[in-house]
Amino acid sequence: MGFGTGALVLQQTSVAAPRFASISQVNGSSLDAFRNGADLPLCSHLQSHRNGIAQGSGQAGFATTRSSNKLLQTRIDSETSRVVAKIRKGKKSAETEYPWPEKLKGDEQEGYLEFLSGFKPLPTKPKPVTLPFERPLVDLENKIDEVRELANKTGMDFSEQIKELEQKYDQVRRDLYLHLTPVQRLSVARHPNRPTFLDHVLNITDKWVELHGDRGGYDDPALVCGIGKIEGMSFMFMGHQKGRNTKENIYRNFAMPTPNGYRKALRMMRHADHHGFPILSFIDTPGAYAGIKAEELGQGEAIAHNLREMFGLRVPIITTVIGEGGSGGALAIGCCDKMIMLENAVYYVASPEACAAILWKTAAAAPKATEALRITGMELMKLDVVDEVIPEPLGGAHSDPVLTSKNIKATILKYMKELLKLDPETLMKQRVAKFRQMGAVEEGVEVDAHIKRNMKKREAPLGSEDPRLLTSGLQQSLDVKISAVEGTTSHVNASATRSVE
Amino acid sequence: MSLMNWFEDKRRFGGLIGAFIEKATKGYIFSEREKDRYIKIDTTKGLWTRCDNCENMLYVRFLRQNKRICEECGYHLQMSSTERIELLIDRGTWYPMDEDMTARDVLKFSDEDSYKNRIAFYQKRTGLTDAIQTGIGQLNGIPIALGVMDFQFMGGSMGSVVGEKITRLIEYATRASMPLIIVCSSGGARMQEGTLSLMQMAKISSVLQIHQAQKRLLYIAILTYPTTGGVTASFGMLGDIIIAEPKAYIAFAGKRVIEQTLRQKIPDGFQVAESLFDHGLLDLIVPRNLLKGVLSEIFELYNAAPCKKFQNSFFK
């Protein structure tokens, strides 16, 4: 950290460059201060591994100074503060930051798990980003501000005009957000300020602890797993975590997991099955990471094993797509009993840019690809892939994250209550049946002989196969008993009518 | 957020689509230059062809007899699905399933040409209804369930038909307690069917769970040139034994995607079967002329396991 050993501690009275805006709330016990988001001092003598800290949003280079009871961090930049150093015995060691305070005041019964979470509110409020299609709204808002300013400056009464403009603003906003096109929804799904997985989890759960590691060499920050409690029931949460700013994004690898991330998810799913936690997974990824190391470690294999294992779990699984769902990387934690999507979330097999570059040979055709691929929630609901689409507040999820989380929680609990009534065998069969009916084929129509001229004709003598065993697979899945849960029978009926054409 | 944009730009090509995207999506528009370079394996049109590896001229009839292995360098050229069935299944025992299943344009997808037209074009050109043939037959007397994918049909892309046929094959093999072999050769998932293609991966994996984990039956995956994208990420890598052909290209994300993501040159031989073998992702590399014998001996080994939980009768 830049100061040598053996220097003296100077009691620092002023705070230079406070890291968190909530510094003014620091008073009283260290616990309150912690909960209000104040930053924490380092324990330089503890050398073990960072405990799940979001290193990206963190604080490199912190001094180990603190005034008596306050939890203030002071950044030692050369311009402002005084130099403070500490007497250190022994060799100087690397600074590690821990999310917990050094001194805990009082005997608190609850709230210990919160100390372990490295995911803190951002120090600065994120800059508002306007998407291209929101431009008219922004113009209107600027005009309203102008009129207001004018009113203040001149003292004349413009309240009627302001009211009119505000009404117009509301109307335009409503019209805009109630009728978003798929291209606009895609840009909202990729919005930099969209609430991330951990934002939702911390809003939904009463208690939360993040668990780490794939026991095979790496702890992938892109895929986060943990246990949380909602309304007295504990669940296993897992999801892709995007960063909230550029630094975090680099730490989280833009929510593109490596095989280690998927193996961590697999371990957690088995753990949940073993201990009886239902699984709630949240999808928000552009896809799995494509890199040399990822390929060598077996990216395809990790995804494949996740897919297969998820159908053998005896606990309910509910998947929510909160942002982008990028093909295999999303499906690896998305084989579920119920699939939920947010209104502006998308789920695609290939990103529209990739699709455009391949099929239309030009990246400029991305809007056309977005429309053609049918990636939004409502379109997927028509294809029986998605069970429910949760409406987002006007303006997208980033305009009101708390309300979005509340809606998600209500929907999840609704489905969970139904699923918890089923016994494990029925649950597994139902999950297989849900995916069994996805897909659309033409059959029953006699195909022109010329079209199948190169397919190998039947050579086995008639009657050599067991006729009972050759009933179509669809028939078999229709025999599956899916009792006691409404809404699932419609899947099976729809598929029956679809294939018999 | 320019960094994010840059990153997103560089991820133009998605993982499931893998490599060989041109093959998967190309229509019938050939320029003159491409016509010259396009090597047709269709033997009715030419007597001689060229090896991809050593550029040696090969007489097609001898090549077919030699199981499409180049005499000079031993390189395994692409083999159509019918020939592969003849390679593995005893004569007079093949019983195909779901021959009349064709794709449906459920998304009404239309890029430069509509999906329906593309399907019709490929069906007419290759003489196959879709990118896979499934059925049952006997391999040295052992009844097996076999599925063979074909790269000539839209680059072996996996759509609803491929997913449904494989699912029915696996369900049949589970009910009849037969071992299952799937020969994979694919450029990735079929984009024209959108998210439904994605769900086929999950569908196949779900019935494989019942086949392998619940009923403890055998599934051998044979990966040939090329196996990329969605197939590698689902049933390709789920075999109890994974066999690859020599020098097969097996990948999840194609070379171009990785080069764009990492902005650096990929070393040669990176996603080749031998390299995957060294990294522990494959069980065996078996050349084509040994394949049938190896498979039947493997079945013999598995059949002789004294502690088998379920009595699967491989031999009728």
* ipTM of the complex model: 0.84
Q: Given its phi and psi angles, is residue A309 left (phi above 0), alpha (psi -120 to 50 degrees) or beta?
A: alpha
Chain A from 30 to 89: CB within 8 A of any B CB: none
> Could you tell me the two tokens for A283?
């999808």
How far is A172 from chain B, CA to nearest CA, in Å?
Answer: 27
Question: How many contacts (CB atoms, under 8 Å) link A and B?
Answer: 324
Residue B31 to residue A447: CA distance in whole angstroms: 32
Rounded to whole angstroms, the maximal C-alpha distance in chain B is: 65
Flag whether B61 is in a domain.
yes
Contact present, B181 and B81 (Cβ < 8 Å): no
Q: Is A222 on the interface with B (CB under 8 A)?
A: no
Same domain for B269 and B123:
yes
Same domain for B211 and B141:
yes
Choose among B161, B171, B252: nearest Cβ to A300. Answer: B252
Counting every residue written for chain B, the total comes to: 316
Counting every residue written for chain A, the total comes to: 501
Q: What are phi and psi of A290, to 5 degrees?
A: -110, 100
Mean pLDDT of B18-26: 53
Cis peptide before B226 (omega within 30 of 0): yes
Q: Is B45 on the interface with A (CB under 8 A)?
A: no
Q: Is B291 on the interface with A (CB under 8 A)?
A: no
Q: What are phi and psi of A341, to 5 degrees?
A: -130, 150
Distance from the Cα of residue A158 to its chain's centroid: 45
Contact A374 B191 (CB under 8 A): no
Same domain for B148 and B40:
no
Residue A369 to residue A379: CA distance in whole angstroms: 14
Most B CBs within 10 Å: which of A242, A256, A307, as the mutation test of the B interface?
A307
Annotated binding site of B for Zn(2+): 51, 54, 70, 73
Contact B112 A453 (CB under 8 A): no
Choose among A439, A443, A464: nearest Cβ to B196. Answer: A439
Same domain for B113 and B47:
no
Question: Of A331, A283, A325, whose CA–CA distance to A304 is shortest?
Answer: A331
Choose among B21, B160, B212: nearest Cβ to A439. Answer: B160
Residue B10 identity: K
Name residues of chain A where pLDDT drops below 70. Answer: 1-94, 463-501
Same domain for B296 and B229:
yes
Give the sign of the dihedral formed by CA A363, CA A364, CA A365, CA A371.
positive
At B252-284, the pLDDT tens digits run: 998 888 888 888 888 888 899 999 999 999 999
Chain B from 128 to 167: CB within 8 A of any A CB: 128-129, 133, 135-137, 160-161, 163-164, 167
Same domain for B236 and B94:
yes
**What is the domain extent for residue B244?**
77-306
Residue A335 to residue A15: CA distance in whole angstroms: 51
Strand partners of residue A207: A229
Residue B171 to residue B207: CA distance in whole angstroms: 7
Question: Of A185, A197, A203, whose CA–CA distance to A285 is shortest?
Answer: A197
> Could you tell me the two tokens for A392?
């987002």
pLDDT, position A165: 85
Q: Is A322 helix (H, G, I), strand (E, B) or coil?
A: strand
Q: Are strands A207-211 and A223-230 parallel, antiparallel or unpaired?
A: antiparallel
Q: Is A438 on the interface with B (CB under 8 A)?
A: yes
Question: When comparing pLDDT for B26 and A232, which is higher?
Answer: A232
Q: Is B127 on the interface with A (CB under 8 A)?
A: yes
Q: Which one of B51, B76, B101 terminates a domain?
A: B76
Q: What is the mean pLDDT of chain B?
A: 85
- Cβ burial of B28 (10 Å; 0-12, 13-18, 19+) is exposed
Q: Is A262 helix (H, G, I), strand (E, B) or coil?
A: helix
A332: chain B residues, CB-CB within 8 Å: 233
Q: Is A409 helix (H, G, I), strand (E, B) or coil?
A: helix
> Could you tell me the two tokens for B3?
């960094």
Same domain for B110 and B72:
no
Residue with tokens 């999808």: A283
Contact B234 A307 (CB under 8 A): yes
Residue B314 to residue B302: CA distance in whole angstroms: 10
Choose among A331, A348, A472: nearest Cβ to B168. Answer: A472
At B75-95, the pLDDT tens digits run: 888 899 999 999 999 999 999
Chain B from 237 to 266: CB within 8 A of any A CB: 237-238, 251-253, 257-258, 261-262, 266
Question: Of B315, B143, B145, B153, whose CA–CA distance to B235 is shortest?
Answer: B145
Choose among A332, A435, A465: nearest Cβ to B95. Answer: A465
Across A50-93, where does the E strand assignment appear? none
Same domain for B48 and B93:
no
Flag whether B23 is in a domain.
no
Contact B164 A326 (CB under 8 A): no
**Candidate CATH numbers 1.20.59.10, 3.90.226.10, 3.30.70.141, 3.30.590.10; the one for domain A188-436:** 3.90.226.10
CATH of the domain at B222: 3.90.226.10
Contacts of B157 (CB under 8 A, 6+ apart): B24, B25, B131, B186, B187, B188, B189, B190, B191, B197
Chain B from 97 to 116: CB within 8 A of any A CB: 97-104, 106-107, 109-112
Same domain for B70 and B83:
no
Same domain for B255 and B119:
yes
Residue A68 to residue A66: CA distance in whole angstroms: 6
A465: chain B residues, CB-CB within 8 Å: 95, 136
Q: What are phi and psi of B232, to 5 degrees?
A: -65, -35
Choose among B80, B101, B195: nearest Cβ to A349. Answer: B195
Most A CBs within 10 Å: which of B25, B91, B129, B252, as the mutation test of the A interface?
B252
H or E element that contains A476: helix A473-478
CA distances to A176, A255, B192 from A144, in Å:
18, 38, 46
Distance from the Cα of residue A323 to its chain's centroid: 7
Distance from the Cα of residue A341 to its chain's centroid: 12
Chain A from 320 to 359: CB within 8 A of any B CB: 326-329, 331-332, 334-335, 347-351, 353-355, 357-359
pLDDT, position A92: 59
Question: Of A468, A439, A355, A182, whose CA–CA distance to B107 is shortest?
Answer: A439
CA distances to A19, A298, B281, B283, B284 from B278, in Å:
49, 12, 8, 10, 11
Same domain for B41 and B152:
no
Contacts of B209 (CB under 8 A, 6+ apart): A308, A309, A311, A312, A432
A452: chain B residues, CB-CB within 8 Å: 99-100, 127-129
Contact present, A353 and A320 (Cβ < 8 Å): no
Choose among A308, A347, A455: nearest Cβ to B133. Answer: A455
Most A CBs within 10 Å: which of B134, B162, B191, as the mutation test of the A interface?
B191
CA distances to A432, B210, B211 from B216, in Å:
18, 8, 6
Same domain for B269 and B171:
yes
Flag whether B314 is in a domain.
no
Residue A29 to residue A31: CA distance in whole angstroms: 5
Q: What is the mean pLDDT of chain A?
A: 78
Q: Is B313 on the interface with A (CB under 8 A)?
A: no
Q: Is B195 on the interface with A (CB under 8 A)?
A: yes
Q: Is B210 on the interface with A (CB under 8 A)?
A: yes
* CA atoms within a 13 Å half-sphere pointing along the CA-CB vector of A220: 30
B93: chain A residues, CB-CB within 8 Å: 459-460, 464
Show the 3-state SS of chain B: CHHHHHHHHHCCCCCCCCCCHHHHHCCCCCCHHHHHHCCCCCCCCCCEEECCCCCCEEEHHHHHHCCCECCCCCCECCCCHHHHHHHHCCCCCCEEECCCCEECCCCCCECCCEHHHHHHHHHHHHCCCCCEEEEEEEECCEEEEEEEECCCCHHHCECHHHHHHHHHHHHHHHHCCCCEEEEEEECCECHHHCHHHHHHHHHHHHHHHHHHHHCCCCEEEEEEEEECCCCCCCHHHCCCEEEECCCCEECCCCHHHHHHHHCCCCCCCCCEHHHHHHCCCCCEECCHHHHHHHHHHHHHHHHCCCCCCCCCCCCC
Q: Is A442 helix (H, G, I), strand (E, B) or coil?
A: strand
Residue B214 to residue A8: CA distance in whole angstroms: 68
Residue B249 has pLDDT above 90, yes or no: yes
A457: chain B residues, CB-CB within 8 Å: 94, 96
Residue with tokens 């003292």: A155
Residue A303 to residue B205: CA distance in whole angstroms: 11
pLDDT, position A166: 87
Most B CBs within 10 Å: which of A375, A454, A501, as the mutation test of the B interface?
A454
Q: Are strands B95-97 and B132-139 parallel, antiparallel or unpaired?
A: antiparallel
Q: Is A246 on the interface with B (CB under 8 A)?
A: yes
* CA atoms within a 13 Å half-sphere pointing along the CA-CB vector of B74: 8
Q: Total domain count for chain B?
A: 2
Question: Of B103, B289, B280, B79, whose CA–CA distance to B184 is shortest?
Answer: B79
**Angle, vertex CA A382, rays to CA A422 and CA A420, nearest 5:** 10
Residue B272 to residue B275: CA distance in whole angstroms: 5
Q: Is A11 on the interface with B (CB under 8 A)?
A: no
Q: Is A202 helix (H, G, I), strand (E, B) or coil?
A: helix
Annotated domain spans of chain A: 10-114, 132-178, 188-436
Annotated binding site of B: 51, 54, 70, 73
- Cβ burial of B120 (10 Å; 0-12, 13-18, 19+) is middle
A328: chain B residues, CB-CB within 8 Å: 15-16, 198, 201, 230, 233-234, 252
Residue B28 has pLDDT above 60, yes or no: no
Contact B176 A287 (CB under 8 A): no
Q: Is A472 on the interface with B (CB under 8 A)?
A: yes
